[in-house]
Amino acid sequence: MKMKRVKNGGIPYLMLGDEANHVAHSYVTASCFDRSGGIVTARLKEQDAMECLYVRTDLKTGEERILYEDGKWPQFLVWNDKLFHYHGKELLETDIPSGITSCLWQGEYELYGIPSITQDGRYLGVSWYYEDHSTSVSIFDKNTGECREIVRKKFPAPYEWISHVMVNPADESKCFFCHEGDCCYITNRLWIADTAQKTAKLLFRQQMDSEMGNGESCGHEMWSFDGKGMYFVKYISATILPRGVWYVDQASKKAKSIAESYPYWHVGVSPDGRYLAADTQEPTGKSDIVLIDLETGEEKVLARIPITGIHPCHPHPVFSQDGTKLCFTMLGENGRLAVGIISVKDAVGKKMNLQAMNLIEKVTDRMVFGSDTDWGMDLNRFDWVPGVGLCGIFRAFEATKREDYIQYLNRWAQLHAKDAYTQKTINSTAPCIMLLGLYELTGKAEYRKVCQDMAEYILREAPRTIDGGLEHTVTERVPGLVDQMWADTLFMACIFMARAGRILGKKEYTGLAVSQLKLHYRYLFDRENGLFYHAWHGGRKDHMGGIHWGRANGWIAYSTAEILKEAGAFEGRDKILEDAKILFDTLKKYQRENGMFGTVLDDKDAYEEISASCGIAAGILRMVRFGYIGQEYREMAERTIANLPRYIAEDGTVLQVSTGTPVYQEASVYKKIPIAPTLYGQGLMVLALAEV
């Protein structure tokens, strides 16, 4: 194997080649990149012989490892650290780190095409042919081991087959397939199969031109990142204009032109939905790899590569799961196929942050310009829920420099700062984090006074547990929380105390934050499991149910980074860092295949919870940014970040956030906490996106 840097006037790219074999990637539905810095490719002895080896190449070291010796191009895809592939009638899964292959399911017929997978990694789209030339469009459920046929369909000869079976990435009840062929023979090109209805409906019909020719010859369909529609290409042979990349909405069936500056051929979609990557069909034996920015409309050529025009030497650009790279098949040296790999960051530079900035504004505008009065979204209180939202608004100002955000925060402070004295609790201290930043920015004495008074209260008057921890007192009317230490406290009060020590010139404030950090790590950290419990009861000497609550670990992850940053050197700091690394290593084991985390981390049946996921990702990226942990932890957090856009509604509401959660004795109760919009969901989303 040979890895070579190629510069051809565009963006430099890496070319992966083999002197003895043809190297090709999979395409259509498939990512080829794993989450550990490697790529899986097919090695074919002959270009037109589809039998191959599946080989993983480490893109940093060049080290290669054969994962499976009896593969078939292009029947494979990579999702996280799993390789899914067919062998005859078997659907196989190969664990990439160990190389162990297991059979997930075996059917009665030989599987064909390319497997596809949902964003949560649970459902795979599979297909096969029957003896009568009809085709099965089916969904396999990894959790249950069941394979359900959605539809069985056959078209008239000579184009009987269907292909490109792809399960909807966001909705396993929908599956796409196509009817390939020239539109002078086939007009019913794009189809959606529905699991519930067990029917197939036409999504897009190719038109013939006035001469009964290929008016709208199209192909290479790909689901949009959110599963709401399909991208496809009207080929250069189409006579009805415009040609190029199109999008069709699956609900309305309305189609529109997206990009037409080049003679496009195939298209791929970035996992965040911001970019398309397309190749071109030229008569010269060359193809351009073009990046299409869906936000700005820019079409930018990244590279011009040699091709043959014969499968598998179609480029088929495909993004990595984190959106940072894309790969394509090309003609390499000595007439053998090779795989090119381009860094998307190199291609777009600082504009990569633009989508995050837009999302930050969208989520923040939902708070600033909303008029909600319900508990979860009402900013007009001095308490922890609006406090976390206010932290997000201040961070949004730092990221975007939008003056209307700081104007809003000043108005809020003028109206509500005095409410800090109404009911002093640990939880209700959270808005002081924002007030402290506002004081540092404006120098207003009234902000300083509130912050200093609250810091003095926490230092000298706030109740302590028998172990010396701050009791997690709240404004809500709940039974007494005597001797209870909660993970939430580090965020609600101790980030504020750590910063107050620096900004107000009171080292004892930072000292208190450090002591509380140590106590929380001492009493709430499960050293056998590697995760944090929700709480500790000092009087009973137990963890009050012993649940590894997701948001608790998010509070801990983010707060650890902020307190360490403010505190500098202190005795026991190395031990905190050592334990934090254990936490992050453990979190990686419990991270869902779509990058998210469950509301109970070590319970696979617990629903995924976005505020926890955001807190964890933001904490990890802050720790990396400050140099407290290595760059190897960044990939885990970026997997979360890459999928956050799908949890932001059109109006900026952050979705899939659990409401207020007391400490419970059983995991089953945590799994029943309702989902609703909350300001802490909004705030934590901004904190995560601001680290991109």
Contacts of 59 (CB under 8 A, 6+ apart): 3, 14, 37, 38, 39, 341
**What angle do helix axes 431-442 and 445-460 make, rounded to 10 degrees?**
140
CA-to-CA distance for 582 and 584, rounded, in angstroms? 6
Catalytic annotation, residues? 488
Burial of 112 (0-12, 13-18, 19+ CB in 10 A): middle
Q: Are 85 and 125 in contact (CB under 8 A)?
A: no
Residue 170 C-beta-side C-alpha neighbours within 13 Å: 17
- Cβ within 8 Å of residue 190, ≥6 positions away: 176, 178, 202, 203, 204, 221, 230, 232, 248
3-class DSSP state of 356: helix
Distance separating alpha carbons of residues 122 and 611, to the nearest angstrom: 22
Residues 6+ away with beta carbon under 8 Å from 623:
557, 560, 561, 564, 580, 584, 629, 633
Q: Which residues of 469-491 are buried (b: 16+ CB within 10 A; e: fewer)?
A: bbbbbbbeeeeebebbbbbbbbb
Residue reference for tokens 């402070």: 413
Report the DSSP beta bridge partners of residue 237: none
For residue 409, the surrounding DSSP H or E stretch is helix 403-416
Tokens of 399: 């990221």
How many angstroms separate the CA atoms of 614 and 685, rounded?
A: 6
Asked if 599 and 671 count as a contact pair (C-beta separation under 8 A), the reply is yes
Q: Whole-angstrom Cα distance, residue 407 to residue 368?
A: 10
| Per-residue tokens: 234 | 């009207």
Of 235, 504, 492, 227, nearest to 382 (Cα)?
Answer: 492
Separation of first and last alpha carbons in the chain: 34
Question: Please, are residues 386 and 431 in contact by the beta-carbon 8 Å criterion?
Answer: yes
Encoded tokens for 454: 């609250």
Contacts of 540 (CB under 8 A, 6+ apart): 483
Residue with tokens 């609900």: 251
Q: What amino acid occupies position 33? A: F
Decide if 432 contacts 496 (C-beta within 8 A): yes
Distance CA 479, CA 483 (A): 12
Phi first, then psi: give them for residue 94, nearest 5 degrees: -110, 125
Give CA angle at 273 (272, 276), nearest 5°. Answer: 120
Query: How far are the Cα atoms of 579, 594, 668, 684 from residue 613, in angstroms, in the given order?
Result: 19, 11, 20, 9
Q: What is the crossing angle of helices 550-567 and 679-689, to 10°?
A: 50
- The rounded distance, in Å, linking the Cα atoms of 365 and 117 is 34
Residue with tokens 């079976």: 165
Q: Under 8 Å CB-to-CB from 692, ≥6 apart: which residues?
A: 352, 353, 356, 641
Quick one: CA dihedral 434, 435, 436, 440, positive or negative?
A: positive
Q: How far apart are CA 54 and CA 40, in angstroms?
A: 7
